[in-house]
Amino acid sequence: MARIRRNLLAFLVLNLLAEAPTHPYEMKRLIRWRGKDQLLTINLDSLYHAIAQLERAALIEPVETEREGRRPERTVYRTTESGLDELNAWMRDLLVEPTKEFPRFIVALAHLAVLTPAECRELLERRSLLLEAQIASVEVGLRGSADLPRVFVVEAEFALALMRAEMEWLRSTIDELRGGRLAWDRDELIRGHRSSTDSKEAT
C-alpha cells in the first residue's frame, strides 16, 4: 500500500467521497458549485491524478461503472475505512496545528530595505488596488452562495477576513511611508550592518 502525499486536492476528493460515492465529473461539478475551485486550480487531469493517488493508498476504491446515454463510462468511487480514518486524522491536523507558513508577501516584507521608501509606497499602493478588487470578488461570490449551507463557505469568510485585515495594515503602512514615519536609508543600513559585522568578527 502506498502512502498518500497529503495535498489540498486529495483532501478535497476524500471529503467529497466521505459524503457519498460519486464519479469524477460529479466531483468537479460539486467543487465548482460550492466554490472550492477558488482554493486551487482544478481540471479533470489533476482530479484523476488525485483519485489515482488515493486509490493506490487504499483510501478510496471503485464501486461501479455507470454510463449515461452516449457519454463515456464513469467510474464511481467511495472511501474505504482507512480513508475515513485518514480523513479524520488529516482534518484534525489541519484545524489544530498552527504551521509556520511564509507567503511570498511576508518574504518580501522581510527585505523591504532593498528598495527606497518611495518605491515601497508605490508598490504597496498597487497591491492595495489589486487586493481591493479581490475583496470585492470574494464578497460577490459569497452573496452568490447565499443558497449554500454556511458550512460550505466558511473558508471564504475566513479568507475575506484575512484580506480585510491585510488591507487595513496596507493602508496604515502606506500612510506611514507617505508621512515619513516609516523611513530608511539603504546605504546607511548597509554601512551600519557591515560595521556591526566587523566589530563582532574583531572580538
Through-space distance between the first and last CA atoms of the chain, rounded to whole angstroms = 57
C-alpha cell belonging to residue 14: 476524500
What digits encode the pLDDT tens for the residues 34-71? 888 877 778 888 999 999 999 999 999 999 987 666 66
> Are 75 and 45 in the same domain?
yes
> Are 18 and 66 in the same domain?
yes
What digits encode the pLDDT tens for the residues 116-157? 999 999 999 999 999 999 999 999 989 988 888 899 889 999
**For residues 6 and 154, what is the distance between their CA atoms, to the nearest angstrom?**
22
Cα 158 off chain centre by: 11
**3-class DSSP assignment, residue 189:** helix
pTM passes above 0.75: no
> Are 18 and 77 in the same domain?
yes
Q: Across-strand partners of 106?
A: none
Q: List the one residue out of 5, 6, 7, 27 whose CA is nearest residue 16.
A: 27
> Are 15 and 52 in the same domain?
yes
**For residues 139 and 120, what is the distance between their CA atoms, to the nearest angstrom?**
28
> Are 42 and 66 in the same domain?
yes
C-alpha cell belonging to residue 165: 485585515
Q: Across-strand partners of 62?
A: 77
- In the chain, the number of structural domains is 2
Q: Is residue 3 part of a domain?
A: no
Q: DSSP letter string over 114-146? A: GS-HHHHHHHHHHHHHHHHHHHHHHHHHHHHTT
The pLDDT of residue 170 is: 97
